[in-house]
Chain A
Amino acid sequence: MHDLFDAFATAWRLVQSGDPTLIAIVFLSLSISLSAVVVASVLGLPLGAGLAVLQFPGRNAVVVIVNASMGLPPVVAGLVVYLLLSRSGPLGGFGLLFTPTAMVIAQVVLVTPIIAGLARQMLEDLWREYGDLYILDGIGRIYTICSLLWLGRFSLVTAVLAGMGRAAAEVGAILIVGGNIAGVTRTMTTAIALETSRGDLALALGLGLILLSLILAINATVQFVGNAAKRVAAI
């Protein structure tokens, strides 16, 4: 109980002090997770929509693979990206290991299946409802996918947010490919892991509380903007 109280006090002190190291860590965390989610959305949303609309041999297998990848263990994703980006690996020439770029790549691997899988589920329902209209009109597939994404945009926000949640909370993959280098690849979650291993549990949990507040703030903002947009769309 005492430790938990300490954690709240520590979190409050950290936020109040405006510690530049903390601000840099928060900024890095957000920019890595947001970049990963943007890239994963660009890849995952069309993939999900395509799977919802298109019929092709092996479609079910792809759906199963995407769904299973939603639960991809971060350490496994991290290890694969590590071996690819390592100097001894196939992409070693770029020298990306232990950089924020490597962390974004690892998170894209984790987040894309989540966004694609959820988008497919949501859009399949829409497709069942409106699909006949598209087919009757003889509209092209690309256009169908685009308009279906637009039609489902409000519910797809949830898919993107789920991806954001995974990216912001994840530590296993970015610890391996980023190396938790102070000032370069240390994020909120890897800093929490480090402080835990140093036995500074109050500081670790304090950082955790700050991370939770940030995730809460992002979700609240999206909810607010989404509601406003729905109101505009309804007019």
Chain B
Amino acid sequence: MTEWVWSPAARFLLLLAASAAAAQEPFIAVASTTSTEESGLFGYLLPAFTKETGIQVRVVAVGTGQALKIGERGDCDVVFVHDRAAELAFVEHGFGIDRREVMYNDFILVGPKSDPAHVDGGKDIVGAFHEIAASNAPFVARGDDSGTSKAEQRFWREAGIDPKTAGASWYRDTGSGMGPTLNTAAALDGYTLSDRGTWLSFKNKQHLKIVVEGDRRLFNQYGVMLVNPAKHPHVKQDLGRKFIDWLTSASGQKAIADYRINGAQLFFPDAEGSRS
């Protein structure tokens, strides 16, 4: 009896679903870091990839810790982050496969022009952390489990300082992304550790400048990996692999090297076997 009601409705729904599927270009979801998004790299890189392959890339830009969590829960296809130790653990626990190193940039220590800790021009990041702690100058920390945050904590450890207990007054843990942390540092005239990419594209620098750079320990490696399809069967492994292959291919690596802000190169491709 009710067939005449339901069949047109069902047909309409099918039509809707079909048209939605047809309109839907193939896409992958990539969980990545704020540094790749906020520095503008993805805005430059992804259109080139989409043009070559027809695959759209949907980027969710969060801290490295959260990006890995998104991958762990199976909510993305590819993870593209910068925390080597955490990435290797991610692969080891079976959450990711096919990890490849893609590019690097470096961290820099940013501080106020007045430089109360007298660290400007130095090349020793751990020494500079010592000076900052000794001078009680404000230090603004990410505190969000990101790759940058992990690197910063590593330098404090190497300096033998526990800022959370030593620096109740001068150590400010903002629990936010690189940009907001730089905004806070600018407002407080404080020091902070930043990746170079976000710094170069950051627009609210006020009195901040780079004070320490060039230490080998400031090296910042980016890695890409596929979320393990054995754990999450819905992962688009073919499309995801295409993205990883392209990033590490000659044309992907060249695109990374070509991205510049005011003539300064932000990321340096270093995928294995792609250097010509």
Contact = CB atoms under 8 A, between A and B. Distances in A.
Interface string B171-188: 000001111101100100
Interface string B34-64: 1000100001000000000000001111000
Q: Which 4 A-B pairs have the closest CB atoms?
A: A197-B179, A199-B204, A87-B74, A179-B60
A13 to B, nearest CB: 16
Contact of A200 (B34, B58, B180, B204): B204
A17 interface: no
Interface in B175-227: 176-180, 182-183, 186, 201-205
Contacts of A201: 203-204
B183 A199 contact: yes
A182 B59 contact: yes
Contacts of A181: 29, 58-60
B60 A200 contact: no
Interface of A: 86-89, 92, 95, 97-98, 179-182, 184, 194, 196-201
A80 to B, nearest CB: 15
11 contacts: A86-B75, A87-B75, A88-B75, A89-B73, A95-B234, A180-B60, A196-B179, A198-B202, A198-B203, A199-B186, A199-B203
A182 B176 CA distance: 20
Contacts of B178: 197
B234 A87 contact: yes
Nearest to B43: A182
A197 B183 contact: yes
B249 to A, nearest CB: 23
Contacts of B232: 87
Given A88-B73, A197-B38, A199-B183, A98 B58 contact: yes
Interface of B: 29, 34, 38, 43, 58-61, 73-76, 176-180, 182-183, 186, 201-205, 232, 234
A182 B38 CA distance: 12
Contacts of A184: 58
Given A179-B29, A199-B205, A201-B203, 12 more contacts: A86-B75, A87-B232, A98-B58, A98-B75, A98-B76, A180-B60, A181-B58, A196-B180, A196-B183, A198-B38, A198-B201, A199-B183
A97 B59 CA distance: 13
B146 to A, nearest CB: 13
A205 to B, nearest CB: 12
A197 B180 CA distance: 5
B209 to A, nearest CB: 14
A149 B201 CA distance: 53
Q: In the complex, which of the residues B75, B232, B234 has the most CB atoms of chain A within 10 Å of its own CB atom?
A: B75
Contacts of B182: 199
A180 B74 CA distance: 18
A98 B178 CA distance: 22
Contact of B75 (A97, A194, A197, A200): A97
